[in-house]
Chain A
Amino acid sequence: MTSETPGESPGGSFGSFLLQADRTLTPFENLANFVAGAAVLGLMLLGVMQIVLRSVFNSPIVGYIDLVELSMAVLAFLGAAYCQRLGGHIRMELLLAHLRGRTLWIVESIGTIAALGIIAVIVWFGWDHFLRAYELGDTTIDAEFPVWPSKLLVPIAFAIWWGRLFIQLLGSLRLVLDPDAEHIGVVVPKDAAELAQEEIRETFGENQDDGR
C-alpha cells in the first residue's frame, strides 16, 4: 500500500516532494486500471453479443477474434502500474519479510533499479514495435483492423509503470538514508499473516485504497 497521511508534509521537503509525485501519478494509474476493468466488461458484452448474433441470427460479429486479440493489450497492460502501487505483482516475500530497516530498503532499491532497467527496455523497444506497425500500416489478417493502436498501449502503460517504479525507488532510497522516516511511496513486504489479511480485505471489498 502507499502510505499516505494527508495534510502535513512528513519527512521533510524530499518527503513532501515524493508525496506530491505519488499523488500526481495515482489518478493516472487509477484511470488506466479502470479502463482495463471497463474493457473486461466490454469483453463480456462482446462475447455475449457474439453468442446471440451467431446462434440466434446466424450472423457473427465480423472480426470478433481480431477485436478480442487487439483488446488484450488494454486488459493485460493498463493495470500494471496500479498493481505495482498496491504491491500486487507476485514475489517471494519469505526473505524480505524478515529484513528490517536499512537492509530491507537497500535490497528494495536494488530490485527496483533492476525493474526500472527492464521496463525501460520494454518502453523503448515496445515503441519501436509500435512504430514499425504504424509505418507499415500493419493490420490483422482476418478483419484488417490496424494493429498500431494496440501496440501503442505497451509504451504508454509501461511508461506509467516506470514512473511508479521510479517513485518507489526514490521512496526506498529515502528510507535507506533514514530508515525511521515515514513510509512514502513504497510497498512494505508482508509475511504470510499480513498477506492473508490483504487477501481478506480484497475478497470482502474493504480495500478502499483506490478510492481516491
Chain B
Amino acid sequence: MILGIGFDDPFLVGLLGVGLLLLLVLVGIRIVFAASIVGLLGLVELLGWAPAAGIVGTIPHSKSSTYALSVLPLFILIGFLAFHAGMTQQLFDAARKWIGWVPGGLAVATVFATAGFAAVSGASTATAAVFARVAIPDMLKHGYNPAMAAGVVAAGGTLASLIPPSAILVIYAIIVEESVGALLLAGFLPGLVSALIYAAIIILWATVQKDVGPPVTGFTHMDRLKALPGTFPIFAVVIIIITAIYGGWATPTEAGALGAAVVLAMALRRGMKARTVRDALMETAKLTAMIFAMIWGVLIFVRFLGFSGLPEAFTVWILSLDMHPMVIMITILLAYAVLGMFMDAIGMLLLTLPVVYPAVIALGFDSIWFGIIVVKMAEVCLITPPIGLNCFVVNGVRPDIPLGKVFRGILLFFIADVITIGVLIAFPEIITFLPSLLL
C-alpha cells in the first residue's frame, strides 16, 4: 500500500501500530504526537493517503466539539480556584476540631480534609502539595511521626480522582461512551470507602504505637460549630453536582459552571486578586489544551485501531482463554499497576482502554465498575515507587522529610488501598448503587 511496507492484513498492521506506539511513548515522544502519528501512518497503510489525512484533519475538531467534554475545563477551573479561595486551611481546621480527639486524630482529619478538598479539586498532586503545606506543620507541631504525616498527605491526595468532580472519570466516560453523570456519581462512595479505610488504618497504627499520632483535644462545641461556615463552598460544590446529576435540574456542564461560579465568588470575597484569577485561567487553559490534545490524539489512533480490527481480535482471544473472568480481571489490574508506576494515569487510560475495554465488557464486567477500579488502580500508582509522584510532591514541599521516610509512611496506606480494591471487587454495589438510582 501507500507506505509500501506491503502488509495486506489489517490485523498485522494494527499489531505493528500498537508496537510502534509503545516504542514511541517509551522513548519519550509526547503522547498526543505518538498516538496521532501512529494513527496517521496506520490509516495511510490501510486506506491510502487522501482518506487518512482527511480523517486526521477532521478528528481534532469533531471529537473536541462535544457537549459532554465541556464539563472538563469547568472542573479544572474549580480546582485551580479552590486553592486560592483559602479553602484548604479552613477545611483542615474544621476537620481537626471535629475529629482531632481520636488516636492519630490530626492524620484522620487530614484524610477527611483531603477528601473534602478533592470535592473541589480533581488533581491528586495539587491536593498533596496543598496539604503538605497546611497539615504537615500542624501534625509535626503536635509530635506526629514525620513518616505518618507525610504518608497521609501523599495518600490523601489520591482521593481527588474518585470523589466528584473528577476529570479522569469524565475522560473515562468519554472514551468508553458511558454517561459522564453516572461515572461521577459512581466515584463518590468508593472515594468515601477509601477515606474510611485510610482513617481506620491510621487509628489502628496510632493505637498500637502511641507516639506516632497523639490525639489532640481541648476544642469546645462552640469552636467546632464556628469552624463549619468556612467549609460551605466545598459542600455547595458537592451538593450542586450530585443533585444536578441525580435530580436532573442541570447538566454536568451547567453544574460545573455553577460550582465554579460559587468557588470564584468565594475566592473573590476572600480577596483574590485579578492577577491571581488570570493565572488560574491561564493554568486552566493550559491543562485543558493538554487533556484535549491527548483525547483527540488518542482518538486518531483509535480510529486506526477500529479499521485494523485489533480490539475485536483481542476480545476474541481473551474470551477464548479458558480462565475465570475474575482471574483475567486481576491479571489486567496487575498489568495496570505495573504500567501505572511509570506512566501518567490519564495517558495510561487513554492508551490502553481502546483495546482492553471491549474485552472487559465481553467478559461480562460492568463498565462503570471497571472505570472506578481502573482509576483507583492508577491512583495507587501515584504513591508507589519508583515514580510515586505524590510522594515526590510532599518531599518537594517539605524537604526536611526525606523521600525514604515519605515512602515508609506510605506503606500502610498502600495496604489500605489494596484492601479498598479488594472491597470494591467483593462488593461491586458500592460502585454501582448510586448510578443505578439514575435509571
Contact = CB atoms under 8 A, between A and B. Distances in A.
Interface of A: 30, 33-34, 36-41, 43-48, 50-51, 55, 65, 68-73, 75-80, 82-83, 86, 88-96, 107, 111, 114-115, 117-119, 121-122, 124-129, 150-151, 153-154, 158, 189, 192-193, 195-197, 199-200, 202-205, 207, 210
B283 A202 contact: yes
Ranked 4 nearest A-B pairs via Cβ? A125-B57, A47-B257, A37-B281, A79-B289
Contact of A121 (B56, B129, B347): B56
Interface in B232-264: 249-250, 253-254, 256-258, 260-261, 264
B67 A65 contact: yes
The DSSP consensus for interface residues of chain A is helix
Contacts of B26: 92, 94-95
B36 interface: yes
Given A68-B67, A80-B293, A205 B276 contact: yes
A85 to B, nearest CB: 10
A9 B282 CA distance: 29
22 contacts: A40-B288, A43-B253, A47-B257, A76-B60, A76-B296, A77-B60, A82-B289, A83-B293, A111-B28, A111-B33, A114-B37, A115-B29, A122-B60, A128-B54, A151-B61, A192-B389, A195-B392, A196-B395, A202-B283, A204-B129, A204-B133, A205-B279
A17 B295 CA distance: 35
B388 to A, nearest CB: 7
A37 B390 CA distance: 27
Contact of A196 (B58, B61, B125, B296): B125
A122 B279 CA distance: 29
B408 interface: no
Contacts of B346: 90
B27 A107 contact: yes
Interface residues of B, number: 80
Given A73-B61, A89-B31, A50 B283 contact: no
A88 B57 contact: no
A125 B342 CA distance: 34
B282 A33 contact: yes
Interface centre among B260, B276, B296, B395, by most chain A C-beta atoms within 10 angstroms, is B260
Contacts of B29: 91, 111, 114-115
Given A34-B281, A89-B30, A117 B37 contact: yes
Contact of A115 (B33, B126, B133): B33
Given A43-B257, A192-B392, A196-B393, A82 B343 contact: no
A175 to B, nearest CB: 16
Contact of B254 (A47, A89, A189): A47
A124 B54 CA distance: 9
Contacts of A37: 278, 281-282, 284-285
A76 B286 CA distance: 9
B53 A88 contact: no
Contacts of B276: 205
Contact of A205 (B53, B84, B125, B403): B84
Contacts, number: 260
Nearest to A50: B254
A40 B294 contact: no
Interface stretch (B70-78, B193-201, B307-315, B414-422): B70-78
Nearest to B283: A202
B17 to A, nearest CB: 14
Interface of B: 24-33, 36-37, 40, 53-54, 56-58, 60-61, 64-67, 69-70, 73-74, 76-77, 83-84, 125-126, 129-130, 133, 249-250, 253-254, 256-258, 260-261, 264, 276, 278-290, 292-294, 296, 342-344, 346-347, 386-389, 392-393, 395-397, 403
B57 A91 contact: no
A182 B65 CA distance: 41
B278 to A, nearest CB: 7
A150 B290 contact: no
Nearest to A115: B33
Contact of B290 (A34, A89, A117, A195): A89
B129 A200 contact: yes
A87 to B, nearest CB: 9
A72 B286 contact: no
A117 B281 CA distance: 30
A51 B289 contact: no
Given A43-B253, A72-B70, A88-B287, 9 more contacts: A33-B286, A75-B292, A91-B29, A125-B58, A154-B57, A154-B61, A204-B129, A204-B133, A205-B276
Contact of A129 (B30, B61, B389, B397): B61
A8 B73 CA distance: 40
A126 B61 contact: yes
Contacts of A82: 282, 285-286, 289
B289 A196 contact: no
B38 to A, nearest CB: 10
A91 to B, nearest CB: 4
A75 B31 CA distance: 19
A126 B31 contact: no
Interface centre among A38, A73, A95, A125, by most chain B C-beta atoms within 10 angstroms, is A125
